[in-house]
């Protein structure tokens, strides 16, 4: 009797799996517990580092063309209500914004880093800009600069800096965008921040 029950259970389980596999899956049954939903952004690649616009109507993000963190990388703005993508920066290098405070409401600009030759530096672009409109902010021959963010008033950027081709000795720096006040170290190189 036990062997017979095992066979019946196996057949019933097999039929259940077959029938379950044949039915159409209800997308509502796969909602996340936090009610988040995927944005339908019509471009391919690894989309990363989303940051809301100051008014909440759009996001800026980085797209790595060849997969996760594989250069080149471009920066786009996705307009939520219109389901429209605008290209902001695209030059063949790794252009990367940070999530969070990369889009500033006061100066209506977006700050990002770029791996353009000779090494990583910080750039800024108006939020309605086009490829080629970006302006380089940092420019030091011996130091790389990346991972920038705006101060709340939009007058300063804070970023990570390293000697060129050195992974250690990281320093958190700040710089006034109009360069009226030059580079200021906020941490010590020995701390490797």
CA distances from 100 to 12, 115, 119 (A): 52, 21, 24
Spell out a b/e string for 141-177, using b for 16 or more CB atoms within 10 Å of the CB, else e.
Answer: eebbbbbbbbeeebebbbbbbbeeeeeeebbbbebeb
Q: Residue 28 carries which DSSP code? A: G
Residue 52 lies in a domain: yes
Which of the pair, 2 or 97, is modelled with greater confidence? 97
* 96-138 pLDDT per residue, tens: 999 989 999 999 999 999 999 999 999 999 999 999 999 999 9
Residue 140 lies in a domain: yes
pLDDT confidence of residue 28? 53
* 51-109 pLDDT per residue, tens: 999 999 999 999 999 999 999 999 999 999 999 999 999 999 999 999 989 999 999 99
Indicate whether 21 pLDDT > 60.
no
Residue 75 lies in a domain: yes
Residue 136 lies in a domain: yes
pLDDT confidence of residue 44? 95
Closest CA to 60 of 101, 91, 121: 101
Helix runs in 23-106, H state only: none
Residue 51 lies in a domain: yes
Total of domains in the chain? 1
110: enclosing H helix or E strand: strand 109-114
What would the mean pLDDT of 154-158 be, rounded to a whole number?
96
Closest CA to 158 of 107, 106, 193, 119: 193
pLDDT confidence of residue 32? 73
Residues of the chain with pLDDT > 90, as a percent, come to 74
Residue 17 lies in a domain: no
Tokens read off for 108 = 């209506």
Residue 86 lies in a domain: yes
CATH number at 124 reads: 2.120.10.30
Q: Residue 64: give the domain boundaries.
A: 43-191
**CA atoms within 13 Å, Cβ hemisphere of 11:** 6
* 174-183 pLDDT per residue, tens: 999 998 999 9
pTM of the complete model: 0.81
Residue 131 lies in a domain: yes
What would the mean pLDDT of 25-41 be, rounded to a whole number?
71
């Amino acid at each position: 009797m036990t062997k017979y029950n095992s066979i019946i259970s196996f057949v019933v389980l097999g039929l259940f799996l077959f029938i379950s596999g044949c039915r159409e899956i209800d997308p509502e049954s796969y909602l996340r517990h936090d009610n988040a939903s995927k944005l339908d952004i019509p471009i391919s690649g690894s989309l990363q580092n989303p940051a809301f616009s100051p008014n909440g109507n759009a996001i800026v993000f980085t797209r790595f063309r060849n997969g996760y963190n594989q250069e080149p990388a471009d920066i786009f703005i996705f307009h939520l209500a219109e389901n429209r993508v605008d290209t902001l920066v695209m030059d063949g290098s790794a252009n990367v914004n940070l999530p969070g405070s990369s889009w500033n409401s006061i100066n209506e600009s977006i700050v990002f880093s770029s791996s353009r030759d000779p090494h990583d530096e910080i750039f800024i672009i108006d939020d309605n800009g086009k490829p080629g409109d970006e302006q380089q902010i940092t420019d030091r021959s011996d130091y790389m600069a990346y991972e920038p963010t705006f101060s709340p008033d939009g007058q300063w950027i804070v970023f990570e800096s390293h000697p060129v081709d050195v992974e250690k000795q990281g320093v958190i720096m700040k710089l006034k965008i109009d360069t009226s006040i030059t580079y200021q170290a906020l941490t010590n190189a020995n701390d490797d921040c």
